[in-house]
């Protein structure tokens, strides 16, 4: 017995040995519900004669009958059958993915929603190197910190992507890393090491325990870990697509975002091959998209049916460039957008993009149209630098005197995570940039239901008399650095000013779901 959206696993044993099970054998299973709904899930090879199928029932209650299929005649892999009972009723869990289901795109394609249509905002960190460098103990420390601050996602390179990187196969040794494919240094993904992914399963489980969804990137196209000839643009597209399917088989029955291209132009043939493969096999419709290098157009595959989102990158010089997000918002057909890589905090020197810089950046990108969410990065953490003196990394991308553990405590992460706390529970789906409702430089609206604006220096928010009807009457004013409510109330007809003393950053939220409060009374 299981519950909706909780992963169940079926183990299969092959009847024969195969020269290379990863490349030579395909296995999948069809799950059919009492209602007639069918979900197809690919299986993955897990070493020796073992294959596994992972499935999360998307319906509450009922029975699923499953049957396996194989590309080879093998009685242990094809033609196996069984059933799975699902408990009825709502799931009582602090984990939103169990209560509401996996993420998918909103009806207008601009935002995330859960399977039951509950709105969601991605608040993500970039711990790119965690899968091949971190230990299970490390990840428990990391996940607890990020979850407490409000983060619900993390960007991960699923394997070490640099073909020329060398070091001991040891997560605890300087310049060491675990290896997913023995032939990656030759630009191929054929000789898989299942033990790598068995360890990654444990790290993955820790993240999910803390409500943190992995944003899974197959093989980087851009800088990679140390900038040593990344394999993402060298691997044959058919091998790249096969690996995408493997990742989907292993991790796709749990919360996930699929980042098929990263730090490249987006036009690399591997990107479209991976996107099509995920579209063909992802029965849950979880978000799939591309993250670009700084000098890119950010619109590759804009009309592709597999593409759900586009993420720009503004580079690592400590400059605010929200217009890149605004430009992407205007591209058609509409896709969700975000700034996937602002400047990492303390990159190259103390003070670069540190502290509130990160909060201002996140709120500015959000209000410019980056309504899929906000993304943060810390120098030293993204490489998972083991300690402050570990050699072998490019100094420009490091925070001086910091390993991953010190970088975890950089102040900017608190400001970015605070966005999740301030916007929790609001109807964010398909909110749009709006500069017509108030005399403010930044704003988002769901007309008549919700209005959010970020004021860099605070001060009174003046509402345009011609659009007063579109701004909900109940309001709250937040200090975005602390999350404190500094004012709240309910405007009356003709009352066109929400008061604030000014001199500090403020977030104004007008929401029709709040009860009428006494004007200006703080909590």
Write down the pLDDT at residue 521.
Answer: 35
Tell me how far CA of residue 265 lies from CA of 222, 270, 271, 327, in angstroms: 9, 11, 10, 16
Distance in angstroms (rounded) separating the CA atoms of residues 325 and 308: 15
With beta carbons less than 8 A apart as the criterion, state whether 58 and 101 touch: yes
For every residue of 489-504, DSSP letters joined together read: EEPPTT--EE----SS
If asked whether residues 82 and 177 sit together in one domain, one would say no
Domain check: are 82 and 122 in the same one? no
Question: Which residues have CB under 8 Å from 26's CB, separation 6+?
Answer: 42, 70, 71
Looking at 423, 442, 474, the residue that finishes a domain is 423
135 plus 170 within the same structural domain = yes
Nearest residue to 99 via CA among 323, 255, 267, 311 = 255
Asked whether residue 71 is assigned to any structural domain, the reply reads: yes
Q: Which of 423, 444, 463 is the last residue of a domain?
A: 423
Round to whole Å and give the CA distance between 337 and 363: 14
Domain span at 498: 432-511
Asked if 114 and 146 sit in the same domain, the reply is yes
Task: Please check whether residues 307 and 419 belong to one and the same domain.
Answer: yes
In a domain, 232, yes or no: yes
Instruction: For residue 2, tell me if it sits in a domain.
Output: no
Asked which of 398, 423, 448 is the last residue of a domain, the reply is: 423
Total of domains in the chain: 3
450 and 375 together in one domain: no
Same structural domain for residues 347 and 227?
Answer: yes
| Peptide bond just before 512 cis, omega within 30 deg | no
Count other Cβ atoms within 10 Å, centred on residue 92: 8
Sign of torsion, CA 412 417 421 426? positive
Element (H, E) at 277: helix 269-281
The answer on 322 and 210 residing in a single domain is: yes
Q: For residues 519 and 477, give the distance between their C-alpha atoms in angstroms, rounded to a whole number.
A: 11
Q: How far apart are alpha carbons 84 and 87 in whole angstroms?
A: 10
Residue-level pLDDT at 516: 55
Helix (H) or strand (E) holding 393: none
- Check residue 522 and give its pLDDT: 35
3-state secondary structure of 308: coil
The phi, psi pair for 39, rounded to 5°, reads -120, 125
Place of tokens 């591209």: 331
In contact, 300 and 271? CB cutoff 8 Å: yes
- Candidates 121, 97, 109; CA nearest to 253 is 97
Do the beta carbons of residue 490 and residue 480 sit within 8 Å? no
Q: Is the pTM of this model over 0.95?
A: yes
On whether the CB atoms of residues 316 and 399 are closer than 8 A, the answer is no
- Shortest CA distance to 408 belongs to which of 131, 133, 149, 121? 149
Mark whether 407 and 265 lie in a shared domain: yes
- CATH number of the domain encompassing residue 295: 3.20.20.80
Write out the two tokens for 342. Answer: 């602002």
Do 22 and 84 reside in the same domain of the chain? yes
pLDDT by residue, tens only, the chain of 523 residues = 899 999 999 999 999 999 999 999 999 999 999 999 999 999 999 999 999 999 999 999 999 999 999 999 999 999 999 999 999 988 888 899 999 999 999 999 999 999 999 999 999 999 999 999 999 999 999 999 999 999 999 999 999 999 999 999 999 999 999 999 999 999 999 999 999 999 999 999 999 999 999 999 999 999 999 999 999 999 999 999 999 999 999 999 999 999 999 999 999 999 999 999 999 999 999 999 999 999 999 999 999 999 999 999 999 999 999 999 999 999 999 999 999 999 999 999 999 999 999 999 999 999 999 999 999 999 999 999 999 999 999 999 999 999 999 999 999 999 999 999 999 999 999 999 999 999 988 999 998 899 999 999 999 999 999 999 999 999 999 999 999 999 999 999 889 999 999 999 999 999 999 985 444 333 3
Domain co-membership, 108 together with 82: no
The CA distance from 69 to 30, in Å, is 8
Structural domain contains residue 76: yes
Answer yes or no: is 3 within a domain: no
- Residue 111 sits in the same domain as residue 151: yes
The span from the CA of 15 to the CA of 77, in Å, is 8
Q: Which residue has the tokens 């998307």?
A: 58
- Asked whether residue 270 is domain-assigned, the answer is yes
Position 387 in a domain: yes
Q: What CATH number has the domain bearing residue 39? A: 2.60.40.10
Domain assignment present for 228: yes
Give the separation between CA 355 and CA 376, rounded to whole angstroms: 11
């Amino acid at each position: 017995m299981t519950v909706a959206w909780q992963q169940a696993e079926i183990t299969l044993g092959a009847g024969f040995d195969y020269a290379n099970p990863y490349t030579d054998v395909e296995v999948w299973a069809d799950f059919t519900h009492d209602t007639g709904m069918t979900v197809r899930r690919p299986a993955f090879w897990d070493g020796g004669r073992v294959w596994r199928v992972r499935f999360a029932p998307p319906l509450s209650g009922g029975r699923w009958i499953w049957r396996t299929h194989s590309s080879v005649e093998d009685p242990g892999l094809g033609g196996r059958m069984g059933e799975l009972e699902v408990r009825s009723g709502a799931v009582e869990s602090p984990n939103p993915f169990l209560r509401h289901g996996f993420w998918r795109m909103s009806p207008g394609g601009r935002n995330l929603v859960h399977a039951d249509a509950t709105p969601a905002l991605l608040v993500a960190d970039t711990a790119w190197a965690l899968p091949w460098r971190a230990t299970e103990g490390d990840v428990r420390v990391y996940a607890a910190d990020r979850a407490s601050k409000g983060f619900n996602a993390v960007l991960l390179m699923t394997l070490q992507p640099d073909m020329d990187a060398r070091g001991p196969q040891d997560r605890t040794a300087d310049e060491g890393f675990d290896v997913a494919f023995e032939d990656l240094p030759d630009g191929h993904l054929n000789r898989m090491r299942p033990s790598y992914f068995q360890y990654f399963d444990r790290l993955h489980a820790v993240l999910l325990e803390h409500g943190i969804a992995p944003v899974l990137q197959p093989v980087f196209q851009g800088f990679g870990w140390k900038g040593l000839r990344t394999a993402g643009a060298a691997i044959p597209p058919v091998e790249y697509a096969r690996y995408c399917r493997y990742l989907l088989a292993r991790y796709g029955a749990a919360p996930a975002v699929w980042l098929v291209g990263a730090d490249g132009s987006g036009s690399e043939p591997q990107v479209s091959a991976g996107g099509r493969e995920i579209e063909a096999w992802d029965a849950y419709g979880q978000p799939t998209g591309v993250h670009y290098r700084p000098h890119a157009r950010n619109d590759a595959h804009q009309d592709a049916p597999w593409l759900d989102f586009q993420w720009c990158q503004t580079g690592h010089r400590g400059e605010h460039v929200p217009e890149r997000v605004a430009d992407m918002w205007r591209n058609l057909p509409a896709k969700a957008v975000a700034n996937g890589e602002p400047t990492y905090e303390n990159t190259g020197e103390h003070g670069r993009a540190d502290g509130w810089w990160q909060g201002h950046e996140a709120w500015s990108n959000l209000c410019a149209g980056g309504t899929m969410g906000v993304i943060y990065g810390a120098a030293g953490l993204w490489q998972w630098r083991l300690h402050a003196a570990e050699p072998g990394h490019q100094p420009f991308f490091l925070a001086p005197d910091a390993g991953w553990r010190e970088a975890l405590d950089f102040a900017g992460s608190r400001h970015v995570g605070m966005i999740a706390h301030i916007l929790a529970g609001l109807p964010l789906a398909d909110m749009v940039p709006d500069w017509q409702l108030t005399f403010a430089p930044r704003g988002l609206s769901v007309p008549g239901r919700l209005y959010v604006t970020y004021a860099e220096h605070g001060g009174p928010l003046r509402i345009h008399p011609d659009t007063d009807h579109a701004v909900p009457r109940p309001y709250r004013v937040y200090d975005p650095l602390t999350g404190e409510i500094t004012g709240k109330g309910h405007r009356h007809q003709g009352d066109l000013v929400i008061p604030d003393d000014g001199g500090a950053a403020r977030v104004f939220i007008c929401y029709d779901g709040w009860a009428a409060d006494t004007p200006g009374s703080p909590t």
